[in-house]
Amino acid sequence: MKVSDFDFELPEELIALRPAVPRDSARLLVVRGKEGRLEDRTVGELLRLLRRGDILVANDTRVLKAALLGKRAARGDGADVEIEVNLNARLSPSSWSAFARPGKRLREGDTIAFTAGVEARIGARSEAEVQLSFNRSGADLDAAIESVGVMPLPPYIASKRLPDARDVSDYQTTFARETGSVAAPTAGLHFTPRLLEDLAEAGIERTSVTLHVNAGTFLPVKSEHIQDHKMHAEHAELSAPAADAILSARAAGGRCIPIGTTALRTLETAAGSGQLKPFSGDTSIFITPGYRFRIADGLMTNFHLPRSTLFMLVSAMMGLDVMKRAYAHAVKERYRFFSYGDACLLLPNG
């Protein structure tokens, strides 16, 4: 299949710049069955859309304030150079890969000085991506990044406004526990503590996985054919208790509904052998039409970018024609798109 098969028209004004308030008031487009029956609901109606015994699987990663601003010291008679850094993926307790602008003003061995005494030395570099070795490590580095950085808003939001104090809470899910992401698993942004309490009282189970989202999630697919695209790798973990809970729920007739594509990709990676097993490692699973889902019986997810690997994933679950029709409906009905936007509930078995 060609990447152009996954294109669609999206009016720019439908890109959400702020989340719904309260979170669970966001709209929810339900897509049922292979024929793609559509229902306009809200996230708060999940109680009536899920069944007792179903299990929701959230991604409990926590977003770092991974957008940093620093200075590279002057060379010779020149001036200091301001450098924008967006952390991408952790390489060690004290080092990260990152995107730096202007990358052409950096050389291997340069030092970028941030505020509060935080510094990073430039290691290997390729185009705009560099390796940074910090003068802090582990939890100390995490705390330092939190003190000097700001929330790393997606480019389609950051190009329209600067991050602010609201984003510190808005761009963090209710499930956030394990620090390591530079982008939020955005389907999780729709849940409130009250909604989770109501779901639990209704007999809907919940467990968590961890996938640390890196900036590769925003990279465009540049190849003409989808089979030529190389998927970025991200670190993911599924614990033994979580795997057992999911297997038990499905054995009892419940459906496994991941909250977001990151949770789904973690589960399908962990079930790569044909059976769900605990997992810890990198995943670069690329799910496209024709893929046979092993664990996910549905998916709650936001609306995704045209020509993106995530739109390919939802098309694999429901069918490309169904998802194009669903997205056309969402555009017509003025749903809000992308990270701070509305959501879909995909139920391929009706």
> Mind listing the pLDDT tens digit for each residue in 258-281?
999 999 999 999 999 999 999 999
**Who has greater pLDDT, 335 or 78?**
335
Convert the pLDDT of each residue in 110-150 to its tens digit: 999 999 899 999 998 876 689 999 999 999 999 999 999 99
Q: Distance between CA atoms of 336 and 325, rounded to whole angstroms? A: 16
List the domain range (segments joined by +) for residue 31: 3-63+168-347
Weakest mean pLDDT among 107-116, 251-260, 316-325: 107-116
User: What pLDDT does 81 receive?
Assistant: 92
Instruction: Answer yes or no: do 34 and 80 share one domain.
Output: no
For 133, list phi and psi in degrees, rounded to 5. -105, 115
Residues 198, 272 within the same domain: yes
In a domain, 90, yes or no: yes
Alpha-carbon distance of 278 to 4, in angstroms, equals 36
Q: CA nearest 215: which of 178, 176, 183?
A: 183
The answer to whether position 8 is within a domain reads: yes
Give a yes or no: residue 338 inside a domain.
yes
Shared domain check, 323 and 220: yes
Same domain, residue pair 111 and 58: no
Reported confidence tier of residue 284, pLDDT bands at 50, 70, 90: very high
Residue 27 is predicted with a pLDDT of: 98
Instruction: Name the average pLDDT for the chain.
Output: 95
CA distances from 209 to 27, 118, 239, 263, 303 (A): 25, 31, 7, 6, 21
- pLDDT average, residue stretch 226-240: 93
Q: Tell me: do 116 and 214 sit in the same domain.
A: no
Q: Specify the number of domains making up the chain.
A: 2
> What φ, ψ does residue 3 adopt, rounded to 5°?
-60, -35
Q: Is residue 156 assigned to a domain?
A: no
Whether residue 306 is contained in a domain is answered as: yes
Are 130 and 45 part of one and the same domain? no
Question: Same structural domain for residues 52 and 98?
Answer: no
pLDDT at 211: 98
Percent of the chain exceeding pLDDT 90 equals 88
Q: What is the CA radius of gyration of the chain?
A: 21
Q: Are 73 and 111 in contact (CB under 8 A)?
A: yes
CATH of the domain at 306: 3.40.1780.10
